[in-house]
Amino acid sequence: MEALSAGDPQRVGNYWLAGRLGSGGQGVVYDAYDADGNRVAVKVLHAADDRAVRDRFAKETTATRRVSSFCTARVLAADLDGHRPYLVSEYVPGPSLGAAVRDGRRFTGDDLYRLATAVATALTAIHDAGVVHRDLKPDNVLLGPDGPRVIDFGIARTPDMSLTATGEVSGTPAYMAPEVFLGERAGAPADVFAWGSIMVFAATGREPFAADNLGAVMHRVLTHRADLSALSSRLASLVEAALTKDPAARPDARDLLLALVSGSDADTERLLAAGSRTARGVHGPAAQGDPALGTIAEDAYESLNPEEREVAAEVFLRLVAVGEDGHEAGRSAGYDELFEGRPERESAAVRRVLDAFSYVIVSGDDTVALSRPGLLRAWPRLRMWVDADRDGLAMLNSVNAAARHWAANGRRDADLLQGSRLEQALSWAATGRRRVTLTPFEQDFLRAGTHLTRRRVRRRTLTTVALAGLLVVSLVAGGLAVWQRQETARQRDILAAKQAAAEADRQRTIDPSLAMLLSVAAWRMSPAQPEARSSLTASLQQQQTAVFHDPPVKGVARRLLSRDGRTLVSASEGGVNVYDVRTGRRTASWPRMTLSGTIAYPPALSRSGRLLAQTTTEKLGVWDVKTGRKLLERPLPARNWFSYSAVFGEHETTLTLLYSLHDVHYLLDVSTGEQFGKPVFRQRGGKAVRHPLVDRTGKRLLLPGDRLDRIALPGWRTERPFPACAERPKAVAFSHDGRTLACAGADVALVDASSGRALGGTIACRVCGSDGQLRFSQDGRHLAAFRGRDVQVWDLRTRNTVLDHRAEGDLTDVAFDPDGNTLRYVMDDAVVSLDLRPRTHATAVPGVAFLSGDGRRAAIVAGRQLRILDMGTGKETARLPVATEGGPLIADFSGTKLAVKEVSGKVTLWDLRTRARLWSVPMPGKGGMPINTRFSPDGRRLAITVAYRQSRVFKEVVLDAADGHVLNSFDTASRGGPFLPGGTAYVSPDSGRFIDVGTGKPVGAGLLPTDALAISRGGLLAAYESTTGRVGLWNVDGPAALRPALPRAAGEVDFLSFSPDGKTLATVSSEGLLQLWDVEARRRLGGSYLVREGQPWSLVFSADGAAVHVGVEGAVRSVAVDGERVAREVCARVGRSLSPAEWERYLGGAPYRNICP
């Protein structure tokens, strides 16, 4: 990989660049890392100003995104409209096929066959998407860790894309098809020709039509037959057909893949999956792939001694700048910043750090900088350092730049920091630094600013005393000096809190209980720190409660859970181990499987967990789990490159044996040894079987996949599947009592297992699809669907989602605990326990809840009455005879007054204390219907937006709240929104303009249209920007945008609400995802809360700001925001406090305290 060039950017979009992977006529491909540290490849267009080139790039991107990710590099993102159009795809570590062969590797036998299958799989996926690659060659085949991947669609095109303006031939001559040299357009047959040429090159190391010049190459391609003597007869026949001079006579890619994989017809998706599995046997030497930057950096860090490691953090933080948008970037640091004022021992440590990290740091005559900005996201340790000091890095850069300007211009007083800027700088220098020491030069600058302030103030005011104190602290090496005991303790606690918060977030999937306690400790030590608040909130949201790790074993272990989720079975060549995952105790073990062959698939457990079945490439064995006694052993016939897997269903002793995870081989009653059944792949029209299921009686076999078959046993009679399940054939599961059957496709249906009668409506499923699986809880209350990294759980009584979780890796098994509150999944060597209980508190209401702005009351439509609920006590305080239309209530509260739209179209004002109707006003004009009502902040005016049928013009009506008479009305093209704090204008979400309620005219500059907005009492406005998915912040004076905006919100935000003090913002999406934000720090507090009842209808904070409430159908969901309440809830979940030993390990610099009294 090449280093970045001088003109290369540090970052493209949200991707930090690390080096150049290659460049061509159209663009440059960079090695890059996303915000989470995932490695990607980013292709950036050269001629961004050329509209024709942009259009071609856009078409290429569209074409590439159509291609399924079977043996190809998946497209992850694209931005075609920005200054630098770019395309993001998977990074495939490993050498190219061309490089491997040039280095001496030759592909023979099974290795070559798997390579042929891999490239044919990729071509099938490409052509199936209607795309032609046009430059398939060995350098565009990467030998990744999971098999070969075809890359570089730089000149790929679809049939509707025209030739280039010059009509030039694109591609690599040695792999071009004859028809291309004859002036014909390169179609899919040209890719097949290139496939054949690649196979010859891989086997021999020579291009099949190699010659000294282009003319000779053309001649050989057009007239010569390639030498195929190095290929096996089976593969040679396919390659010979692919190299046929007549494109019409060549097989297509799908035919090649069929011949290579199975020789029988199959649906394309299953065919591609089978090809991908075969391809996994081909690997590139690990040493030839570029290791990830994070790995390189961590290896360098591990080579340092403790003193050098301490210095490393400061060195790297000096090389980081944080911009106004909140993103970090690399910066150049002068040698004076790194060396000046240090003793020789520390300077030697700095030099050692620079030397150890020479791959990612470049040193010039006077400066040091990151040579690979991607390190900022690629190295988790650096991400942690930056996140912990993010707020102060901008201040550090500002102080350093200002100090240099001051020195370069003669150290003038006018260039010194003064007033609030000086105070902020000194405050940061005294209390905000963790790993950065001020240089003597920067100390002189701050000292000069403080002295100037003293000279300008005749009397020794409190301000100058405070500045002097901050100066003393800021100038002491290490940043923490004693100028006052309380201040010293506060600084210590800030540092410890940030460290504890960072450690808590790291421990969430390692030791969830410890993570929760560390977050409480962080908040107790420094409640105002955004990191501590965020970590504490994340602990309340945290669903992980425990993690059990399977101890290391000999070879590769295959793992699964028992039906009750309490037992883990781990099978490997070293033997079988059985664990109680709740206690970590090993309950059974026996050495070696005593089966010849290699374990390829996980074992299977019977319904009771008593029987264990395991297959190898040669044998099937069944054991008694408790005793380890082998009950049965059967030989398995050799079948090409694929193997067998065993599956137990709901019947205790009936085992289904699958071939290659797609076809039934036979069924076996392990109690009697009786074998029955037969393969079904051809009978099913080439549609693969996924996760077959025998019912509890042993009389029915369900075969899901792209179609669902129902077979009576043991006679093997095909029966018609239930209609609801025939439409949802991907996955099936029986409830534990066998009475209910769940079937999944794009959604999930529940049916009576005996009659097939549908049980209620369907359930929307995000994770269902190919290879998805279903699981019922033992009490039948919950159903889980899982696929890949994702798992969803529903409460079957309400059909509401109770869990929507993404794990860090792929899930191989999922099970419910009988307690009804715990779900466990297997991920790699870990069993993770999740708490299904809601993270929010619910107050049941008989309808849709509309909440008052201060969170004190809720109005609920109940028939022809409006019920008023006191949110403090949960008791009903009034019933009003209000006739509404049902659904969302159009109303607004002001203190004890409630304005509500009635079914007649009138707006009525009620006094909630007396339950009296104060007035009722019809809307002006024929057919006018109110669509929203809003009180002014002082409650004296009520603004109403009125809509009219077949008209796009609204009318805004402003009433006197005292008696309902009209103060003003005017026509408008946009809906009205909330009042500004002064009460003289409101914000229209449709136009983003501020509208004067007295004149109906726009005032001020306005902002962008928005789908949701909120205004704080202090004049801060938050608006959801649907185009970016972020929430922008504005000062209503102007209005003026405040940068940076908040990070991307979860889902499409429907409602926003500020806390009474304006420091916290809540957002809730249409999917019911509730998030909290620290407004001043511009960061999310934790992750998301899931509001289980679905779509929200209102969102408000409580009057004291201690909680936030969401009104939904049938409930008001409440979440604690006050830190003390959150800490108590988290402590209650864990059930203990940090021990002195744990405190000493993670917070040893601070005195022990009981964080959960």
Q: How far is CA 701 from CA 466, 742, 743, 759, 777, in A?
A: 80, 14, 14, 21, 21
Six token digits for residue 373: 């900005």
- Nearest Cα neighbor of 1109 from 724, 852, 777, 797 is 852
SS3 85: coil
CA atoms within 13 A on the CB side of 375: 28
753, two tokens = 């297992």
366: left (phi over 0), alpha (psi -120 to 50) or beta: alpha
Left (φ > 0), alpha (ψ -120 to 50) or beta: where does 189 sit?
alpha
Lateral strand order in the sheet of 86-90: 11-12, 15-23, 27-33, 39-45, 86-90, 75-79
Q: Parallel, antiparallel, or unpaired: how do β-strands 782-787 and 693-694 relate? A: unpaired
Spatial separation of the C-alpha atoms in residues 116 and 261, rounded to whole Å? 10
Strands 966-972 and 954-960: antiparallel
Active-site pick, 34, 128, 135, 505: 135
Sheet holding 966-972, edge to edge: 929-935, 941-947, 954-960, 966-972
> Does the N-terminal peptide bond of residue 1039 adopt cis geometry, omega within 30 degrees of 0?
yes
- Maximal CA-CA distance, the chain: 105
Using alpha carbons, select from 530, 527, 535, 534 the residue that is nearest to residue 1124: 527
- What is the SS3 string spanning 318-358? HCEEECCCCCEEECCEEHHHHHCCCCHHHHHHHHHHHHHCC
What angle is formed at CA 927 by the lines to CA 922 and CA 929, rounded to 5 degrees? Answer: 60
Distance CA 723, CA 700 (A): 16
Q: What 3 state SS string does 932-988 have?
A: EEEECCCCCEEEEEEECCCCCCEEEEEEECCCCCEEEEEEECCCCCCECCCCCEEEC
Q: Which of 1112, 1107, 1106 is nearest to 1091 (CA)?
A: 1112
Collapsing DSSP to helix, strand or coil, 25 comes out as: coil
Per DSSP, the three-state class of 361 is strand
Query: What is the arrangement of strands in the sheet containing 367-370, beginning at the earlier edge strand?
Result: 333-334, 367-370, 361-363
> Is the CB of residue 192 less than 8 Å from the CB of residue 259?
no
Is 32 in contact with 48 (CB distance < 8 Å)? no
> CA 135, CA 140: separation in Å to the nearest integer?
8
Residue 990 bears catalytic tag: no
905 and 947 in contact (C-beta within 8 Å)? Answer: no
Cα(737)–Cα(438) distance, integer angstroms? 69
Q: How far is CA 708 from CA 34, 403, 704, 760, 785, in A?
A: 40, 73, 5, 21, 18
How far is the C-alpha of 861 from the C-alpha of 906, rounded, in Å? 17
CB 528 within 8 A of CB 1081: no
- Closest Cα partner for 901 from 858, 863, 945, 846? 945
What residues have CB less than 8 Å from 1156, skipping those under 6 apart?
Answer: 517, 520, 1127, 1131, 1134, 1136, 1137, 1138
Q: Which residues are designated catalytic?
A: 135
